[in-house]
């Protein structure tokens, strides 16, 4: 079983297109579109959102992504009517990036909270990034160092692109570890893609938490196997 | 005047008439600072409410308002759907199963509706939204009820007049919520369409009791 995802958009075409895009990355995840009004206009429909939540109700819960203000409000209204609200979470994330990240996390087996975190992580990494690097330069590190680290050279021709990033982020999001790869959030597919790391680049992995060692080994294993690519 | 289920049905039908009558005005207000769909959405939403009411008369004012809430949320499409839907739903919950609404209960129902709009839309007074019509209406209804007015009509009138004044007072404001907020300073000088439709709804409540 995996967590389902519901896409609420003002436009039926946007919702359907977003679902199509995300499904490419997450073939086993149920991703449901709730776009447009009941009569095919621009807008959102409580009935459509409720119907999607209903379809998702039997599973391991669902994470909802919405496009603009009133889609968020319609989603919130729908959540007032569901029987087990703890199984449904609304993610505060950009629709497309958040959806792709959420779908990958769901494909990797993350729970409903993990899927929402993955979606919201596209806004910015939990560790590292510019803020983290700056702290190191100033020699004023107050947080504890990583529990495990590893350095792995990319050997596949295409380097870090969407599919490898999806594999890394998807697997890491189901582990109890905070992981950075070259300073960005390892559980965020979009952050990993911004590294633009080509063949021959070295990924420096740092991991904190109970599954830190597994996380480093997981990334290392994928990189050393060339992500199963030439 | 007794505010019972029959009054509520008259009120909601008058809301539909008002939205049809002011459809173009609301569209034009919304075209200036929004996405120009408010008049059409409200007209469609309340026409659907009328159709639902025609399928069978609700037994209490609260039941009529709950039916309205669900219909607006499903049929309006724009931001007004979840906002008015939540408003009617919270008002219905506040009224419970009462067969008749006394002035104090009406003031409480309006407050619950306004709180629902604020919870859903996260707008505050002065943001140039429907909250700027609802908040003075709630205050005026409460003041009239607390002043010992046993005349329901007087409380309805107080709320409607305050909402209309509140809508006019949105003219100079700069929008801080909704699509209009993207316009920034350029939103000043236009009346907020949601505040206007809110005033129409509260004015219809008077018409149904007169």
Read off the pLDDT of residues B124-139 as tens digits, 9 standing for 90 and up.
Answer: 999 999 999 999 999 9
Nearest Cα residue in chain A from B85: A77
Please report residues of B whose CB lies closer than 8 A to that of A42.
Answer: 37, 77
The pTM (predicted TM-score) of the whole model is 0.74
Under a CB-based contact definition with an 8 Å cutoff, are residues A150 and A123 in contact?
no
Mean pLDDT of A158-173: 86
Q: Measured between CA atoms, how close is A74 to chain B, in angstroms? A: 5
Count of CB atoms within 10 A of residue B133's CB? 32
- Describe the strand order of the beta sheet including A31-35 as a list of residue ranges: A31-35, A4-9, A62-66, A88-90
CA–CA distance, A108 with B133 (Å, rounded to integer): 49
Specify whether the CB–CB gap between B186 and B129 falls below 8 A.
no
Of B37, B41, B79, the CB nearest to A73: B79
In this prediction, residue A123 carries a pLDDT of 74
In angstroms, the CA A128 to CA A89 distance is: 27
A229: distance to nearest CA of chain B, Å? 46
Answer whether B207 touches A (CB < 8 Å).
no
Three-class secondary structure of residue A185 per DSSP: strand
Percent of chain A with pLDDT over 90: 57
Contact A43 B76 (CB under 8 A): yes
**CB-based contact B37 A45, cutoff 8 Å:** no
Q: Helix (H) and strand (E) counts for chain B?
A: 9, 0
Predicted local distance difference test score (pLDDT) of residue A124: 57
Contact B120 A77 (CB under 8 A): yes
- Residues of chain A with C-beta less than 8 angstroms from the C-beta of B86: 73, 77
The pLDDT of residue A3? 95
- Whose tokens are 């939990």? That residue is A126
Residue whose tokens read 């008049």? B39
pLDDT at A131 over 80: no
**Is A10 in the active site?**
yes
A128 pLDDT higher than 50: no
Local confidence band at A108 (pLDDT 50, 70, 90 cut-offs): confident
Which has the higher per-residue pLDDT, A223 or A191? A223
Q: Which residue has the tokens 């994470």?
A: A63
Decide if pLDDT at A224 tops 50. yes
% of chain B surpassing 70 pLDDT: 100
Say how far residue B180 (Cα) sits from the centre of its chain. 19
Taking 3-state DSSP, the helix, strand and coil percentages for chain A, each rounded to the nearest 5, stand at 45, 15, 35
- DSSP state, residue A144: P
Secondary structure of residue B72 in the 3-state scheme = helix
Nearest-Cα distance to chain B for A156, in Å, is 45
CA atoms within 13 A on the CB side of A149: 9
CA distance A206 to chain B (A): 39
Work out the minimum CA distance from A69 to partner chain B, whole angstroms: 7
Q: Could you give the CA distance from residue B147 to residue B108 in angstroms, rounded to a whole number?
A: 15
pLDDT at A138 over 70: no
Q: Note the pLDDT of residue B73.
A: 93
Chain A residue closest in CA terms to B41: A43
Classified as helix, coil or strand, A70 is helix
Q: Are B89 and B116 in contact (CB under 8 A)?
A: yes
- Average pLDDT over chain B reads 95
B121 in reach of chain A (CB within 8 A): yes
Q: Longest C-alpha distance within chain B, in Å?
A: 47
Residue A208 DSSP one-character state? E
How far apart, in whole angstroms, are the C-alpha atoms of residue B51 and residue B59? 16
pLDDT band per the 50, 70, 90 thresholds, residue A144: confident
Distance separating alpha carbons of residues B69 and B104, to the nearest angstrom: 22
State whether A77 and B82 contact (CB < 8 Å): yes
- Inspect the interface and report whether the beta carbons of A73 and B82 lie closer than 8 Å: yes
Q: Which of B74, B85, B178 sits opposite A69 (nearest CB)?
A: B178
Among A42, A74, A81, most B C-beta atoms within 10 A, so best to mutate, is A74
Over its C-alpha atoms, chain B yields an Rg (Å, rounded) of 16
Helix (H) or strand (E) holding A6: strand A4-9
Answer with the residue of higher pLDDT: A188 or A209.
A209
Per-residue pLDDT band at A130 (split at 50, 70, 90): very low
Residues in chain A with CB shorter than 8 Å from the CB of B70 are: 46
d(CA B121, CA B83): 7
d(CA B32, CA B9): 33
* Interchain CB distance below 8 Å, A38 and B75: yes
Residue A87 has pLDDT above 50, yes or no: yes
Cα A202 to Cα A223: distance, rounded to the nearest angstrom:
10
Residue A126 has a pLDDT of 45
Q: b/e string for B80-90 if b means 16 or more Cβ within 10 A?
A: bbbbbbbbbbb
Answer yes or no: are the C-beta atoms of B141 and B104 closer than 8 Å.
Answer: no
Residues on chain A bordering chain B, Cβ-to-Cβ distance under 8 angstroms: 37-38, 41-47, 69-70, 73-74, 76-77
Are A46 and B82 an interchain contact pair (Cβ–Cβ within 8 Å)? yes
Q: Which residues pair with A89 in a beta bridge?
A: A63
Cβ–Cβ under 8 Å, residues A117 and A174? no
């Amino acid at each position: 079983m995996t967590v389902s995802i519901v896409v609420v958009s003002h436009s039926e075409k946007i919702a359907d297109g977003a679902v199509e895009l995300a499904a490419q990355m997450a073939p086993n995840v149920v991703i449901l579109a709730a776009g447009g009004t009941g009569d095919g206009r621009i807008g959102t429909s409580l009935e459509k959102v409720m119907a999607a939540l209903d379809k998702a109700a039997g599973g391991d819960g669902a994470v909802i992504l919405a496009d603009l203000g009133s889609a968020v409000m319609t989603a919130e209204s729908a959540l007032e009517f569901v029987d087990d609200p703890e199984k449904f979470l609304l993610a505060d994330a950009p629709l497309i990036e958040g959806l792709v990240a959420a779908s990958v996390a769901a494909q990797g087996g993350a729970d409903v909270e993990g899927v929402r975190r993955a979606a919201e992580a596209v806004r910015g990494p939990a560790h590292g990034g510019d803020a983290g690097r700056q702290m190191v330069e100033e020699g004023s590190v107050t947080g504890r160092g990583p529990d495990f680290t590893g350095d792995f050279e990319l050997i596949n021709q295409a380097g870090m692109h969407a599919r490898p990033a999806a594999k890394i982020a998807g697997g890491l999001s189901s582990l109890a570890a905070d992981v950075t790869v070259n300073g960005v959030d390892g559980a965020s597919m979009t952050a990993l893609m911004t590294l633009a790391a080509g063949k021959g680049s070295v990924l420096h992995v740092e991991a904190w938490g109970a599954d830190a060692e597994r996380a480093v080994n997981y990334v290392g294993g994928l990189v050393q196997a060339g992500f199963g690519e030439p | 005047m007794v505010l019972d289920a029959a009054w509520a049905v008259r009120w909601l039908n008058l809301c539909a008439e008002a939205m049809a009558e002011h459809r173009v005005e609301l569209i034009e207000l919304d075209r200036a600072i929004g996405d120009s769909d408010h008049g059409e959405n409200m007209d469609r939403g309340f026409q659907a409410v009328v159709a639902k009411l025609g399928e069978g008369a609700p037994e209490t004012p609260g039941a009529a308002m709950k039916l309205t809430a669900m219909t607006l949320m499903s049929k309006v499409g724009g931001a007004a759907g979840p906002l008015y839907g939540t408003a009617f739903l919270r008002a219905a919950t506040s009224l419970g199963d009462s067969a008749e609404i006394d002035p104090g209960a009406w003031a409480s129902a309006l407050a619950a509706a306004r709180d629902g709009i604020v919870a859903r839309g996260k707008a505050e007074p002065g943001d140039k939204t429907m909250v700027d019509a609802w908040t003075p209406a709630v205050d005026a209804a409460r003041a009239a009820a607390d002043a010992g007015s046993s005349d329901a009509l007087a409380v309805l009138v107080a709320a409607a007049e305050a909402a209309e004044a509140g809508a006019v007072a949105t003219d100079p404001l700069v929008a801080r919520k909704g699509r209009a907020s993207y316009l920034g300073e350029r939103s000043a000088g236009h009346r907020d369409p949601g505040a206007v439709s809110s005033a129409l709804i509260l004015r219809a409540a008077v018409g149904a009791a007169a």
